[in-house]
Amino acid sequence: MVRSSADRPAISTGPALMIPAGYPRDLPSALLRAARDFSTAGVVEIGPDGRETKLDFPTLLELAARILAGLRANGVRAGDPAVVHCTEPVGFFAAFWACTLGGIRPLLMAPSPEGDRTEAGRERLRTVTDLLGWTVLIGRPSDLPDDLGLPVLDPDALAGHEPTNEFHRPAADDVAVLMLSSGTTGTPKIVQLTHRGLVEFAAGTPAMLPVRPGQTTLNWLPLDQSGAFLLYHLLPVFTGCTNIHVNTNWVLADPLRWLDLMDQHRVNHSWSPNFGYRLTTQAIAGEPDRHWDLSALRSLVSGGEQITVPVMTEFLRLTNRFGVVPETFVAAWGMTETVTGITFARPGLTPNVHRVRVPPTGIVEWVDQRPSSGKVAVARPGKTRAEAPGVLSLVSVGAPAPGTTIRIVAPNGAVLPEGRIGQLQVASARVTPGYLGNLEADREAFPVGNWPIRKWLSTGDQGFITGGQVVVTGRDSERIIMRGTLYYAHDIEAVAATVVGAEQGLVAACAVPDPESGTDRLVVFYALTPDSIPGMDQGIRSLIQTRLNLAAEVVGVPRRDFPTTPGGKILRPLLKQRWLDGTLETPPHPYVEPAGASSYSGPTGEGPESATADTQITAEDDLSERTTELPTVRLAWHRTLQQSIP
């Protein structure tokens, strides 16, 4: 008898991990092998001026050996922590590998965009160094505050020493790397990653992502982000790939530079969070006559934030003529605590899209009927229309990596059946052994019942499993229940971000307690930027009402006060708390209610049932019959024709 998906426990296990003979069993061995066997590959840095610097693996090894000799001359020993804080990738990687070769535990910390000699930068460094206790800072003194009371070692000066050939021989379970993980709370935690975990990551990932020796990878995200550093530097060192690293702000200033570089360097693998694909799509649409040859691409990974189907559909549509085939796209999920990506979806977008409704019970209801075989119904090719209220388009992030098991559990720890949303937990040798000096965080990450065994990491993400594939629905803080219907913050934010002047990644949706009604109300925050225009508040409010049938309070927040992590994740709990505390600055926005505009939100917050999901405005449209959508129409007209409606 075949069990239905509702009877199958939501547990998915990856294949057995096969580590070939001769494969490096620790990080020092990986760099030594790269210098010996992949001597023509290496690291390429593209700086803020677009200039390139290349360091092949043998040269990287020599430079790291020189810096290690300098560290030892300054009294730094195996087991000591060291903050690696270098502005250039070449110095960053050389200092990292120097620490690794010497058994020193490097904490990766890319400089903040505003600089670390500012008060905010000082506070950021103080918080981290307080967690570490005594440590040294490896970086240029001109980039660091001079009042931290800790030794600052300049990598250029350290590199003046003669190279050492005496390297540390770590045990498999020794801590190799320290990385920061603040999640969505903004409070930093130091994640410990072991040699065993990093080796299993490097050995298992090529089974899911087609990274091969001799290929080229490209990253433009900050190097202290786990995806950027581990997937696009550490993995290429193990695998023998040239890895290109580009200044983040240089790409953000012109997202088409990402495509320029992938064309110029015949890049095989790259990645971005969802917002990067959105920015690039907008830039391509603005320059329709440009052309690139991207046919060398074998994978474009999307990870680090929730994947939105319309963004990826449009990106793949616009880049198809440049040689980007749909199978290039790979959805991934992971976190610093799991050594970055630990699930990778089947190639392509359409086969991985699930159109579902999720009532507050958490039992997933597929909008498209699933076949009796139990296979998951997916979105039809080319289906990009806005969904009806309550319908979510979710992207599967695939099956677990080799040597990994993922399960979905209820709040009491009981394993749920397939197709039921719950807490996502991971068991793998890749998982962190814990947070440095933070027993409280350890107990939260490895819940009671598993202590002190620490087998199951509770990720803080919600999701479900169907057919062995993992679908992440969001974090606990992203769940919003309105009138008995479950929404996710990223879906509401995606709608709000389509209003002219708003940006995905600078919009946050939160459920805020309403003492008067005794229930929650929806508050949507957006960052006030130079692109903000009069009417944004009403435009966002009207579009959310029209598309999702939800009433929302809309609040503009100065960009400097809109909290995000260095990787761009919105700190929704922090934003919500500041709003409730009354400490969030919300200056008046230059918005004037349009004459004759109709407010159609009733006492229950419900709008007209006839409101359409897609509002397309052209110069020939007769607006006389669309008064209920007038604020949205005004903004759409402004966006399309750059004209105002009287």
Q: For the chain, which domains are there?
A: 22-170 (3.40.50.980), 195-222+239-370+388-471 (3.40.50.12780), 483-641 (3.30.300.30)
Choose among 550, 605, 618: nearest CA to 633. Answer: 618
Q: What does each C-alpha distance from 156 to 138, 139, 153 come to in angstroms?
A: 10, 9, 9
Both tokens of residue 474? Answer: 């969001």
Longest Cα–Cα distance in the chain = 80
User: What is the per-residue pLDDT for 6?
Assistant: 65
Instruction: Give the pLDDT score at 452.
Output: 73
406 contacts 470 by C-beta, under 8 angstroms: yes
* Strands lying side by side in the sheet with 81-84: 152-153, 136-138, 81-84, 105-108, 175-181, 189-194
Q: What is the pLDDT of residue 305?
A: 82
**In this predicted structure, what is the pLDDT of residue 637?**
32
pLDDT along the chain (646 residues), means of 10: 67 96 97 98 95 97 98 97 90 96 95 71 84 90 84 95 98 97 71 98 97 98 94 98 96 96 99 92 95 98 89 96 97 96 94 84 71 34 47 91 97 94 96 94 85 86 94 81 74 86 85 74 88 83 87 90 76 85 71 31 28 30 31 34 33
Token couple for 603: 């006492």
Instruction: Check residue 399 and give its pLDDT.
Output: 97
pLDDT of amino acid 376: 36
Burial of 517 (0-12, 13-18, 19+ CB in 10 A): exposed
Token pair recorded at residue 494: 């995606």
Write out the H or E segment, with its range, that includes residue 556: strand 552-558
- Enter the DSSP assignment of 394: E
Nearest 10 degrees: Cα torsion 599, 604, 610, 614: 70
> For residue 14, what pLDDT is reported?
97
Q: In the structure encoding, which two tokens stand for residue 301, read together?
A: 């990974």
Cα separation, 241 vs 105, whole angstroms = 25
Question: So what's the pLDDT on residue 613?
Answer: 30
Candidates 558, 496, 560; CA nearest to 522 is 496
pLDDT number for residue 368: 62
448 contact partners, CB below 8 Å, separation of at least 6: none
Residue 204 is predicted with a pLDDT of: 98
pTM (two decimals): 0.79
